[in-house]
Amino acid sequence: QEPEYTCSGPLREQPAVHTERVAWMLAMNPYVVVADAIPYPVRGTSNFGMSAVGAIESISQGARYAMAGPEGTYPCANGEAKPRYLAQATPLWPLGLGLQLLLAGLLMWLGWRSLRTPAHRLARGTRIA
């Protein structure tokens, strides 16, 4: 349970970058696919306000922050931004794996199409060297 707190200090508007519009491209990265496929324990915050996460879990969290997009308001405690941890509710790795397979299939089809012999269009008696 989070302790009750109030934000103090002047309120100001900040520009928001909408990362959710292009984050689907991040899902194609093989590191993101592997990092998101690994299950992690649900974490809270430690005594110092930061959660102890590894490098691979940080990749997964970064991709989830990008997919979530900007927050309408920033949670704060005494005027300081308070980080949040996104749980692995919806897996991102099936989207990334599906996009990788689709791209690989498209590239294989384009390669096959460019390398096939156009024997059915040649005149009778013409030989391909």
pLDDT in tens, 56-114: 888 888 888 888 877 765 666 555 555 566 666 778 888 889 999 999 999 999 999 98
Sign of the alpha-carbon dihedral angle for 71, 15, 76, 84: positive
Please state, in angstroms and rounded to a whole number, the distance separating the CA atoms of residues 29 and 24: 10
Q: What is the dihedral of CA 98, 99, 105, 110, to 10 degrees?
A: 170
pTM: predicted TM-score of the whole model, two decimal places: 0.59
In a domain, 4, yes or no: no
In a domain, 3, yes or no: no
In a domain, 58, yes or no: yes
Q: What angle do CA 37, 38, 42 make, to 5 degrees?
A: 115
In a domain, 25, yes or no: yes
In a domain, 38, yes or no: yes
Provide the CA 38 distance to its chain's centre, in angstroms.
Answer: 14
In a domain, 124, yes or no: no
Q: Which domain holds residue 29?
A: 19-116
What total of structural domains would you count in the chain?
1
Whole-number pLDDT of residue 129: 67
In a domain, 86, yes or no: yes
